[in-house]
Amino acid sequence: MSSTVSRIWTAIGNWSFPLVPRARVAVFRALIYLFVIWDIFYLTNDVIPHGYAPEVYQPLWIGRWLPFPEPTVLGAQIMQVALIVACLVAASGFFARTSGWVVAILFLAWMENSQGFSYVSHDHMALVVTTWVLPTVGAAKFFDQTPSQAAGWALRVTQVATVLTYFGSVFSKIFSNGSFWAWPNSAVFTWAFMRRGSAIVTWTLEYPLLLKIAQWGLYLIEILSVAVLFMKGKWLYVCISVFFLFHFATFLALGIHFLPTVVCWFAFFPLEKIPTGGRARLAALRTRYATKSSGPALD
């Protein structure tokens, strides 16, 4: 019995703290922090305007629990500049822990302000979680292939948060509609396509059964999404491609994207191959150029 329990705990530990190259975190970290800069200018760019209407600010639970300041224009502008600087430093790998914690705190405060005006978007959940786990890795260089459990844990947490964005929405659908069967049997796709559907999908309004089948398909994909956490190899990438295609189709159909979640999916990929592959290709180009430059001399 004790040996069985020991094997189970070992399996859980190996899954929770996989050994991955530090370079994978270095590349992923750069991707995440650069995306945060883009995010605060193009997705959650309402924080500074919120400073003009602080009277309608209703902080979320985390905003009431933590001492985040009330929204002001000057405060938001300072926070935006600080976020940009911290993200650039963290993306470069310098002072990884310090700059990473600064990004985590500031981005959480930024998101609390953005979401504290009656609208909460769950597409940022995995991104916020990621900014809090990346600083725990510490130093990680782009060409460092040293296996690290700390790097593996940070990426695993990001993976879990990414998948829970979909799996957790199942429970939201159940609780808000009153039963397991209500949402997939509803007319939510019909309502969405009538409200903001593009010409690509509005023709489906004449086929309500097709829309209901599509709802069931999405519902089942969300329920089975946790399986991605235990997949490897080509099947893992096939499943991730399904989610990428879903978001691409949603963008074409409704103009809705989940880019903050999509960028977190890259925690599943062997990103450490990017810098090593780039260096190998650069070395090959240099060798080819040197060979051409040192051709036979003319008498």
Interatomic CA distance for residues 50 and 56, integer angstroms = 9
In three state form, how does the secondary structure of 46-66 look? CHHHHCCCHHHCCCCHHHHHC
What's the average model confidence in pLDDT over 59-82?
89
pLDDT in the model for residue 299? 45
Question: For residue 174, which of 158, 159, 185, 165 has the smallest C-alpha distance?
Answer: 185
pLDDT at 104: 97
Q: What is the pLDDT of residues 251-265, one digit of tens each?
A: 999 998 899 999 999
Q: Is the pLDDT of residue 239 over 60?
A: yes
pLDDT value for 160: 97
User: Please, how many CA atoms are within 13 Å of residue 104, restricted to the half-sphere of its CB?
Assistant: 16
Task: Report the distance separating Cα 298 and Cα 290, nearest Å.
Answer: 17
Distance of CA 47 to the CA centre of its chain: 20
Please determine, for residue 282, whether its predicted confidence score (pLDDT) is greater than 70. no
Residues of the chain with pLDDT > 90, as a percent, come to 73
Averaged pLDDT, 156-168: 96
Average confidence score pLDDT of the chain: 91
Residue 118, both tokens: 């009656």
The DSSP 8-state label assigned to residue 26 in this structure reads H
Segment 104-110 shows an average pLDDT of 96
* Least confident piece of the model among 1-5, 67-71, 275-279, 281-285: 281-285
- Burial class (CB within 10 angstroms; exposed 0-12, middle 13-18, buried 19+) of 131: buried
pLDDT for residue 89 is more than 50 = yes
Mean pLDDT, residues 9-29 taken together = 93
Average pLDDT over residues 144-160: 96
Q: What's phi and psi for 238, nearest 5 deg?
A: -65, -45
Residue 262 vs residue 287, higher pLDDT: 262
Residue 255 DSSP SS3? coil
Q: For 202-238, write each residue's pLDDT tens digit.
A: 999 999 999 999 999 999 999 999 999 999 999 999 9
User: 3-state class of 145 per DSSP?
Assistant: coil
Looking at residue 71, what is its pLDDT? 87
